[in-house]
Amino acid sequence: MKVAVTGTTGLLGRLVVQRLSNKNIEVRALLRHPIDNDVSPSIDKDAKSSQVALYLSKLPGVTMVAGDATDLTSCKELVANCDAVIAAHGPVRPSPLQSLFCLLPESDPKHSRSVNYVAVQNLIDAAKASKTCKRIVRVTGKGEEPTQFFTVLINMLGNMAKAWNYE
């Protein structure tokens, strides 16, 4: 079995990659930035993404794939010959002012629309094109209802992050 993973250096993604590797499952892990061999590898909670990437790249059965989930070509390369995808990626939290005043355009790759909607659609399209990928698991925050206070607050302060997850 071979599994593609997004959100590789995030708190959840790093655990997913590590556990799959421990179970001798091949992993293709998407990585937005080149690996920096000049840092010390670490998987600690407070480790920088460059440290996490280096740590994960040394695990057995893990192949790092350069790219971005908001780019369909990257997703197709990531998913090629994989049996499943675990999408553990999420948007970076914008500053409250940036979000309230809509300073980040929806077309920006860091916007919640790009990360929570476009990237997932890219993974779906890549899985369909691969002919081998039969399952996509999307992991997001808690299963809040769209009208719950917390969800409304996150949407107001996070470029509609929860709303784009529902899409």
Per-residue confidence (pLDDT) for residue 117, from 0 to 100: 87
Q: What is the pLDDT of residues 75-117, one digit of tens each?
A: 999 999 999 999 999 877 666 665 555 566 667 777 778 888 8
So where are the chain's domains? 2-93+109-143
Stated pTM of the model:
0.83
For the chain, the farthest-separated pair of C-alpha atoms sits apart, in whole angstroms, at 47
Q: What is the mean pLDDT of residues 57-82?
A: 97
Per-residue confidence (pLDDT) for residue 112, from 0 to 100: 74
Q: What is the secondary structure of 35-70 as a DSSP string?
A: --TTS----STT--HHHHHHHHHTSTTEEEEE--TT
Fold for the domain defined by 2-93+109-143? Rossmann fold (3.40.50)
Q: What is the mean pLDDT of residues 138-144?
A: 71
